[in-house]
Amino acid sequence: MRILSGIQPSGESHMGNFFGAMRQHVELQERGQGIYFLADYHSMTSVRDAEERRHLVIELALDYLACGLDPARSVLYRQSDLPETTELAWLLTTVTPMGLLLRAHSYKDKVDQGIQPDHGLFAYPVLMAADILQYNSDLVPVGQDQKQHLEMTRDIAVKFNQAYEREVFQLPEPHILKAVAVVPGTDGRKMSKSYGNLLRMFWPEKKLRKAIMAIVTDSTPVEEPKDTDQTLFQLWSLFADPDEQAEMSARAAAGGLGYGDVKKDLYERVLSYFGPYRERRSELAKRPDDVEDILRAGAGRARELAMPVFEAARSAAGVGPLG
């Protein structure tokens, strides 16, 4: 079984990314052939600085490798190292109805937010379809908010197959990532790069501690009962088992629990949980050439896996030499 997912290098990965997707991507390695790409082409709709993009790609590769993505079992590559994907996107673009793209929730949401639309943003789902269809992927892990993009991919594949009367592409099945409560940022809103409320698991200890100690809480005195439906307790619960959570709830209800003590405990738990990942990442960061080698080797393996589909699509569409 082939499992395909892309990760966009648009900023620092954080605990929201980890609990929402990264951890599950790593776990899915056990179920089949994992193919994971660092979507630098997709990042071009938001990141306009070339050096920043290159930096973010390597940083994201380090994060995934540190969190357990195994290049011996899974394919990890940089999207732009497989330029054939953009050719396939063009073949798919020519059969994609405008109405389908106009219905994309993500496009409409960004326009509603006041973002000036460009063709890259509008055609984003077609490039995503090429990413997925080039491997005849069986399973595509997506969040609930990305389900529509996979449905669009299936529609585009059907349009191409019908247009050229060949079953070039198989229809991928979504794997909806297990629902995880929205990981709050330090200000209580959803953890997001755009809000500047991140907790990054790979920050230096001093910076991480400062961010945790700055988590917003209410002004309830120490001796009073505490409301555990606050950001601080939600974050703490990510690192506690059910028994520990029940004990914390009882302590909070009884009064006498200080927020500062919970923050200190959260900091220690974060360091303990991510300790092996932090150590692994630190070692990998000392060998940037090794990371590049992993990405290049991954692109080579990706090309081998995708080439039968590339050739079938070109042949069906009648582009390139015969045979």
Phi–psi pair at 140, nearest 5 degrees: -125, 105
Q: Could you say which of 147, 159, 178, 193 is catalytic?
A: 193
Cα-Cα end-to-end distance for the chain: 29
Q: Please tell me what DSSP assigns to residue 213.
A: H
Cβ-based neighbour number of residue 121 at 10 Å = 17
The question of whether 190 is a catalytic residue gets the answer: yes
**159 counts as catalytic:** no
Report the C-alpha gap between 72 and 168 in whole angstroms. 29
Alpha carbon separation from 129 to 116, 155, 156, 296 (Å, rounded): 23, 10, 7, 23
Which among 229, 255, 233, 297 has a CA at the least distance from the CA of 76? 297
SS3 165: coil
The angle at the Cα of 314, spanning 84 to 32, to the nearest 5 degrees, equals: 60
Catalytic residue among 108, 178, 190, 210: 190
Alpha-carbon distance of 126 to 302, in angstroms, equals: 19
Q: Report the alpha-carbon distance of residue 88 to residue 70 in Å, rounded.
A: 28
Q: Is the separation of the CB atoms in 228 and 248 below 8 Å? A: yes
Question: Given 110, 206, 264, 286, which residue is catalytic?
Answer: 110
Beta bridge partners of 3: 34, 139
Say how far apart CA 33 and CA 139 lie, in whole Å.
Answer: 10
**Strand (E) or helix (H) holding 54:** helix 50-66
Give catalytic residue positions. Answer: 110, 190, 193
